[in-house]
Amino acid sequence: MNADPIWFYEQQGEQRGPVTREDLLARLAAGEITPATLVWREGLKGWIPLSSSELAPTAATEKNPPPRPPLLSPAPPAMVTSGIFFTPRAGRLRPGFEPRLRHTYSRAWNSLTTRFWPLVGCFALSSILLGVAGQFYVPIFFLMFPLMGGLYWYNLIHLRGEAGSVETLFEGFRRQFGPLAILNLIITGISFVLVIGPLILLIAGLVFGAEMIDRGDQPPALGFAILFGAILLFFVLCLPILIVSIVGNLATLLSLDCGLNARESLSLAWAATKPHLVKMTLFMIANAALSMLGFIALYFGMFITGAWSTLAFVQLYEDAFGDEPGA
């Protein structure tokens, strides 16, 4: 039995292998790969250049090693077609997870101040792209979550101490586009169904209240009370949409971070949300309030408050599904 490790290598952005050590060296000697080619074997934490592996000294002396048939081996880390290799994390809810909103916003703000303009700029760019996609109506049903997922991913790797780039904002299109598009359709469809009833009641209340005020045969205060009541009832009945929204957002990050399909990510996101419906609803209301405050603050303030609320959501995700317990 051959105890030599089995290797995988990258070629033109695609994973190749498994191959033996001799096969890999033969490809190097033939010029099919170079010392800069990324390789991986069991035991390595991630993909590394061949020149940084233990094959480097052998590769310099061995020119034409005889090829050997590949053997079975464990699956290597996943990679994206851009040539950046990515290892999905295990998707699991941290035991004893409890949302702590003040802690979440505090840590998010501290993180925002460390790379303020890149984070604000990426949020602004994503908002513009979402706005443009929204003008075409139909694409928003399957493009919104891939776009949002890229923004969340940019913020997530920032929280984990890595530096992203503008290309990171399109990670939802390079990886997991199918599951994210399905999530987009599911969440948008549920939200649309949930808003129909409250919207009908709101329109009816506004029309009835306005007619009472115009007729003058009833006290105007009653008409205004009906108008106010219709608006208040609309927002109360729309609270379930906030829950659907937080579940969809968590599922988006789970899909990108853990490589889960739409059903798996929704199930895990709901498991994190269900025991904390009140706090999760308050969190979404706080995020909406932040956006509104930013809009009032000369409009451009919404990019700052939006970046802050986005980081707060990603911090909430880390508290629920991250590897390290929250401080």
> In sequence order, what DSSP letters do the residues of 3-37 get, joined into one string?
-SPPEEEEETTEEEEEE-HHHHHHHHHTTSS-TTS
268-297 mean pLDDT: 90
106-112 mean pLDDT: 94
Using one digit for the tens of pLDDT, what is the confidence trace for 55-100? 876 654 444 444 444 444 445 555 443 444 566 778 889 998 999 9
Q: Tokens in use for 93?
A: 């809810």
Q: What percent of the chain has pLDDT over 90?
A: 39
Q: Select the more confidently predicted residue: 291 or 200.
A: 200
pLDDT of residue 254: 95
Round to the nearest angstrom and report the end-to-end CA distance of the chain.
Answer: 49
pLDDT of residue 317: 96
User: 8 - beta bridge partners?
Assistant: 40
306-321 mean pLDDT: 94
Q: Tokens in use for 191?
A: 């939200």
Q: Tokens in use for 102?
A: 């003040």
Using one digit for the tens of pLDDT, what is the confidence trace for 201-258? 888 888 888 887 777 666 777 777 888 888 888 888 888 999 999 999 999 999 999 8
Domain ranges of the chain: 1-87, 101-321
What SS3 class is residue 96? Answer: coil
Residue type for 199, please? Answer: L
What SS3 class is residue 8? Answer: strand
Q: Select the more confidently predicted residue: 94 or 301.
A: 94
Predicted TM-score of the model (pTM): 0.70
pLDDT of residue 85: 52
- Check if the beta carbon of residue 60 is closer than 8 Å to that of residue 51: no
